[in-house]
Amino acid sequence: MKSIHKHFSKIAHKYGDLRTGDLEPILFIQKKVQNLTKIEAGDVGCGMGRYGVKLLKYLGERLHLTCIDMNDDMLNELTKNFNNDNIVKNFKIIKSLAENLPLRTNSLDCIFTFNTIHHFKLINFLKETSRILRNNGYLFIYTRLKSQNKRNIWGRFFPKFYEKETRLYELNELIELFKKTSILRLESIEYFKYKRKAKLERLLTLAVNHHYSTFCLYNKKEFEEALKEFQKNIVRNFKNTDRIIWNDENIMFFITKNKDHEQKI
């Protein structure tokens, strides 16, 4: 965990250039919360605010967002990014672990988390969520499954990438964890598929800069050897290395807190 924390501190200033922030999950959330006139919400594991910016733009003045992360460097970048996007109100920043949030019981309408649950002790985070959400509140979890990770450009062509990334979950594992917090009810599952395009040079830049924390799980020699083999694999499998096309996949879980549901169980 210390090495991962150090990794995010190191790349915080360039993280926005290395990672893609998808709009589709924000539009999905926008539809689900259209009945709420005021939304007090938390973005847990907010990082440098890639999705926080989109949430505040697309949900508008009714959203009051608490941005939560444990990394000071990421939170500093979030402040800069919000200022650059002229977002100066309706948000606050808290430094905290996801499993022990300094928020009042029954205080939020929504909790969001984007591509971060593999960094949490998930069952503890779910218990915190069930405490903090108001009754009939919403939890949105956006992540990728192990099998989705195996099918992307890195899982297919970067040696040991899929094998080393053991922190991700499969669908059945997540569903079982949700069941353990009986007050939370899984309402729906949304699948996302994105067509990506990049030059080989760009892919190498992403890997060298460890745009996925998975690359921190390699030692230096392992990574250098894997990077060389990755380049060979791309050349073998794509005729035009200036136009490499692949699919990325993600999944979103829409979950509600319902005390009546707990009583029925």
Q: Who contacts 236 (Cβ-Cβ below 8 Å, separation ≥6)?
A: none
The alpha carbon of 85 is separated from its chain's Cα centroid by a whole number of angstroms, namely 21
- 48, 74 contact by CB (below 8 A): yes
pTM of the model: 0.94
Where do we find the tokens 């035009």? Answer: 240
Rounded distance, CA 98 to CA 102, Å? 10
Q: Which fold is adopted by the domain 2-197+248-264?
A: Rossmann fold (3.40.50)
Paired residues of 196 in beta bridges: 246
State whether residue 62 is helix, strand or coil. Answer: helix
Name the residue ranges covered by the structural domains of the chain. Answer: 2-197+248-264
Rounded distance, CA 9 to CA 73, Å? 5
**Residue 263's pLDDT is what?**
42
**Residue 264's pLDDT is what?**
41
**Residue 99's pLDDT is what?**
96
**Residue 265's pLDDT is what?**
35
- Residue 115 falls in which region: left (phi positive, over 0), alpha (psi -120 to 50) or beta: left
Listed residue (87, 55, 71, 58) closest to 1, CA to CA: 71
Query: From first to last of its 265 residues, what are the pLDDT tens digits of the chain?
Result: 667 888 889 999 998 888 888 999 999 999 999 999 999 999 999 999 999 999 999 999 999 999 999 999 999 999 999 988 888 789 999 999 999 999 999 999 999 999 999 999 999 999 999 999 999 999 999 999 999 999 999 999 999 999 999 999 999 999 999 999 889 999 999 999 999 999 999 999 999 999 999 999 999 999 999 999 999 999 999 999 999 999 999 999 999 998 775 544 3
**Residue 1's pLDDT is what?**
62
Listed residue (92, 111, 98, 104) closest to 32, CA to CA: 111
Residue type, 100: N
In Å, how far are 140, 230, 249 from 207, measured between CA atoms? 29, 10, 18
